[in-house]
Amino acid sequence: MRQIVLDTETTGLSAEGGDRIIEIGCVELLNRKLTGNNLHFYLNPGRDSHEEALRVHGISNEFLRDKPKFAAVADEFLAYLGGAEIIIHNAPFDVGFLNKELQLTGKPALSQFVASVTDTLVMAKEMFPGKRNSLDALCSRLEVDNSGRTLHGALLDAELLADVYINLTRGQDALLMEGDGDDEVTAGMVVPKVDLSRFTLAVISASDQEQKAHDEVLTQLDKSSNKKTVWRKLMEPVTAAA
């Protein structure tokens, strides 16, 4: 499975308002492993960045003057993405800008070139509702080292997001099980089988004091719900039969 973690930097916040992409950073994952086959462009947007944007990415207008236009790298960029799952944090923002750049070069929308787009911001909000889910916040929460991120940069942010994505989806890793021999191989580690039938587990019953405390809790629940708790009703036939 080929995945591309992608990030952009822009002159401002509105693609429809005339803002343009100034940097694209892409990091490739194959079977959830970094390959080192990354792609990175600085682009001449044909306009100056807003002051607010400059404070975020720190890429000066002068630095971009001799960089290529998006149209000059579009084919290389699309060939690199071809058929991959694209992973972006706050995907509508980056995809909106990319689609605008593609439109200006007379090319179809990004969805025509990639398999799918996964938004890690949506994933994070589902996993951590009510919490901050910026890239920096996720790096801190998931113990991804972002100490080198003093300013936003597309390639650095894509590399950080790749680590964040792997951590967000770590529970989805499939376990490789091979049962041909006496051992099972799990994720590259040999785990010996254990015959649990050799063990007798002790049954520890509740003491009278513990049972009394339990009954008191059930009584309080009965009062709060104005009826018997479900588990007491389920126990009634057993008590009657006894």
Round to whole Å and give the CA distance between 9 and 64. 12
What pLDDT does residue 184 have? 42
Residue 198: pLDDT band by 50, 70, 90 thresholds? low
Q: Are 40 and 25 in contact (CB under 8 A)?
A: yes
pLDDT in tens, 32-67: 999 999 999 999 999 999 999 999 899 999 999 999
pLDDT in tens, 69-127: 999 999 999 999 999 999 999 999 999 999 999 999 999 999 999 999 999 999 999 99
Q: Percentage of the chain with pLDDT > 90?
A: 64
Q: What is the mean pLDDT of residues 179-200?
A: 52
Residue 229: pLDDT band by 50, 70, 90 thresholds? low
pTM above 0.75, yes or no: no
Kindly state the DSSP code that residue 68 receives in the 8-state scheme.
P
Mean of the per-residue pLDDT values of the chain = 85
Round to whole Å and give the CA distance between 189 and 43. 46
DSSP code per residue over 174-226: PP----SSSEEEETTEEEE---GGG--PPP-PPPHHHHHHHHHHHHHHHHHHT
Round to whole Å and give the CA distance between 138 and 122. 12
pLDDT of 191 over the 60 cut: no
From the list 50, 57, 152, 214, the catalytic residue is 152
What pLDDT does residue 212 have? 85
- Is the model more confident about 150 or about 162? 162
What pLDDT does residue 186 have? 40
Q: What is the mean pLDDT of residues 193-211?
A: 73
Phi and psi for 10 in degrees, rounded to 5?
-135, 170
Q: Is 152 a catalytic residue?
A: yes
